[in-house]
Structure 1
Amino acid sequence: MNGMKTAMLLAALTALFMGLGYVFGGSGGAVIALIVAAGMNLFTFWNADRIVLKMHDAHEVDARSAPEFYNLVAELARRANLPMPRVYLIESANPNAFATGRNPEHAAVAATTGLIDRLTRDEVAAVMAHELGHVKNRDTLTMTMVATIAGAISMIANFGMFFGGHGEDKPNPVVAIAAMVMAPFAAMIVQMAISRTREFSADRAGAEISGNPRALASALAKIAGPAQAIPSVASDRNPAAAQLYIVPTGVSDLFSTHPATEKRIAALMAMEPSQPAPAAPARRASALDPLRK
């Protein structure tokens, strides 16, 4: 199913890319765009994870540079019966995490230092288990390609707003207007390609992998507000990247692909019906602070 979804996504984004080519260069521009899109799709399939990680200035860690965090992910991967993913940290106050890669054998998981700072060890484990749930469910290829290709279309559309127009000295107003609607079309494709049930499925998988649905519910309660309030440089540059994260950042609703955090918490707490839903507590020091030394 995810393979078919990815193929449909590529076809839709290729058509949109050709539309941009036609708007900016007529029929010749559309042909050039088709050739470029074919090369871009192939390149993105093999390299989208590297593009996304570079977009976030993520740096890879191992058992020597961040032993507690790395070993935590290793234990979760073992529980999930998954190959060991590459592990990354991102220097950002925005508390978030994501998974990327074209399949479980070529997967990577990343967390921000802001997430590590705000959560307990059990909560960090539950969040990373959620990301491994995406890997296990094979969501990451579609998610990663959306972030890279839709972001490229938005960037080209923004460029075309100022420089479009078949070689004229000044931008053509019709071309500029057409370019303005391309980014919303890219966002619509993002929403069609990324089902909101994906997050519920990854939440359930994460709760099962970590064995602690309450810890994941508590983590979501703690980071939902700060993730909206604290800027994310990567998603500011490319709003389509926001759909990668465990909780959405403060971007336009146009790119919203996540269900309400309250609904996700309620679904997790339904796995422990005798327990009340967690409230967002005051910030506390993380049990994983040593990894940042």
Structure 2
Amino acid sequence: MKRIVLFLLTNLAVMLVLGLVLSVLFAFFGISSRSIGGILVIAAVFGFGGSFISLFMSKWIAKKSTGAYVIEQARTDTEQWLVSTVAEQAQQRGIKMPEVAIYDSPEINAFATGPSKNNSLVAVSSGLLHNMTKDEAQAVLAHEVSHVANGDMVTLTLIQGVVNTFVIFLAKILAGIVDNFLNGDEEEGGGWTYFVFDMVFQILFGILASVIVAYFSRKREFAADKGAAEMVGANKMRSALERLKHNHESRLEGSMMAFGIASGRSISEMFASHPPLDARINALK
């Protein structure tokens, strides 16, 4: 319930902010929301705006939704090891020290998030600490630090923003064509058919767009595995991936799942944010 409420409140806030931005743009430039230019502005504002607001709020959302405890001062040997390991890896990759956190979950997982390379969060689950060796955990941390160093959060946000813009723009253009064909110009502001077909086209194009985003996400996972292997050794990274074969299903959601070491279920490999574990293991050989 906490995650649902947080999701609804966050998206409501985003919609209100973007709606205000659109109102200002339309009033200032005198653009009609039904013109090609107006539709493009709407598509760009909601396509990129939502993605970038989510990116800038990603650390806060991650902490709130997972209940992650940020290690400000290590209280145990395990916490001290986590902080020192991430610090060493961050220095090795030339980035500022990420915040390090632990969240309570039986799954073996970890994720990285944050708006930039030098403002990030690396979090590990309690299940990872209980079920992985230090060598395996070190490899997982290196994988997440590689995500940060590669700028994957910003890259995926840009890709998501581009595809979102195309989805919204094409859906509204096609919905307008269908609406004009069925109703003519009787309802200048857009009839109910416009809104129905706009929604239908956004769903259809959104499915296609998710395939594109998932493809880049899988490529990014291979790159993070390679980066981890270069930092700690391929054997440690392969061992960590082998351990994930016996994992609980991931409880992470959204961008946190995309940047987690382990992924959730997917109806098809085309929609999966992560490649199959065997493919990732073989790529390291």
With the shorter chain as reference, the TM-score category is 0.5 to 0.7
Which residue does the alignment assign to 2:179?
none
How far off is 1:182 after superposition? Answer: 4.8
Report the 3-state secondary structure (helix = DSSP H, G, I; strand = E; otherwise coil) of the residue aligned with 2:57: helix
Query: Which residue identity lines up with residue 27 of structure 1 in the other structure?
Result: R
2:102–2:125 contact (8 Å) kept in structure 1: yes
Normalised to the residue count of structure 1, the TM-score between the two structures is 0.62
Query: Which residue identity lines up with residue 119 of structure 1 in the other structure?
Result: M
Which residue does the alignment assign to 1:247?
262
Which residue does the alignment assign to 2:5?
none
- Of residues 196, 217, 226, the one that matches 2:247 is 226
For residues 150 and 96 of structure 1, the distance between their equivalents in structure 2, rounded to whole angstroms, comes to 28
CA gap 1:145/1:249 in 2 versus in 1, 3 angstroms: farther
- Of residues 205, 214, 237, the one that matches 2:235 is 214
For residues 51 and 141 of structure 1, the distance between their equivalents in structure 2, rounded to whole angstroms, comes to 16
- Of residues 66, 74, 91, the one that matches 1:64 is 74
CA gap 1:73/1:42 in 2 versus in 1, 3 angstroms: closer
2:101–2:123 contact (8 Å) kept in structure 1: yes
Which residue does the alignment assign to 1:190?
213
2:143–2:224 contact (8 Å) kept in structure 1: yes
How far off is 1:68 after superposition? Answer: 2.8
- Of residues 105, 111, 117, the one that matches 2:124 is 111
Report the 3-state secondary structure (helix = DSSP H, G, I; strand = E; otherwise coil) of the residue aligned with 1:196: helix
Percent identical pairs in the alignment equals: 29
For residues 86 and 64 of structure 1, the distance between their equivalents in structure 2, rounded to whole angstroms, comes to 12
1:88–1:111 contact (8 Å) kept in structure 2: yes
For residues 148 and 96 of structure 2, the distance between their equivalents in structure 1, rounded to whole angstroms, comes to 10
CA gap 1:147/1:91 in 2 versus in 1, 3 angstroms: farther
User: Within 5 Å, which residues of 2 pair with 1:16-31?
Assistant: 27=34, 30=39
Q: Unaligned regions of 5+ residues in structure 1, if any? A: 1-16, 18-25, 155-165, 271-293
CA gap 1:148/1:247 in 2 versus in 1, 3 angstroms: farther
1:99–1:109 contact (8 Å) kept in structure 2: yes
For residues 67 and 196 of structure 2, the distance between their equivalents in structure 1, rounded to whole angstroms, comes to 36
Which residue does the alignment assign to 1:267?
283
Which residue does the alignment assign to 2:272?
256
For residues 60 and 149 of structure 1, the distance between their equivalents in structure 2, rounded to whole angstroms, comes to 33
Please tell me whether Structure 1 or Structure 2 has the larger radius of gyration of its CA atoms: 2
Moved more, 96-105 or 40-49: 40-49
1:56–1:90 contact (8 Å) kept in structure 2: yes
Moved more, 139-148 or 85-94: 139-148
Query: Which residue identity lines up with residue 229 of structure 2 in the other structure?
Result: A
For residues 147 and 111 of structure 1, the distance between their equivalents in structure 2, rounded to whole angstroms, comes to 25
How far off is 1:217 after superposition? Answer: 0.9
- Of residues 43, 51, 57, the one that matches 1:47 is 57
Report the 3-state secondary structure (helix = DSSP H, G, I; strand = E; otherwise coil) of the residue aligned with 1:102: strand
Q: Unaligned regions of 5+ residues in structure 2, if any? A: 1-17, 19-32, 168-189
Q: How many residue pairs get matched?
A: 229
User: Within 5 Å, which residues of 2 pair with 1:20-169?
Assistant: 27=34, 30=39, 34-37=44-47, 39-65=49-75, 66-143=79-156
Query: Which residue identity lines up with residue 133 of structure 1 in the other structure?
Result: S
Q: Which has the higher contact order (CA 8 A, sep 6+)?
A: 1
CA gap 1:43/1:123 in 2 versus in 1, 3 angstroms: same
Cα RMSD between the aligned structures? 3.9
For residues 66 and 111 of structure 2, the distance between their equivalents in structure 1, rounded to whole angstroms, comes to 11
Normalised to the residue count of structure 2, the TM-score between the two structures is 0.64
Report the 3-state secondary structure (helix = DSSP H, G, I; strand = E; otherwise coil) of the residue aligned with 2:124: strand
How far off is 1:80 after superposition? Answer: 3.4
1:147–1:243 contact (8 Å) kept in structure 2: no
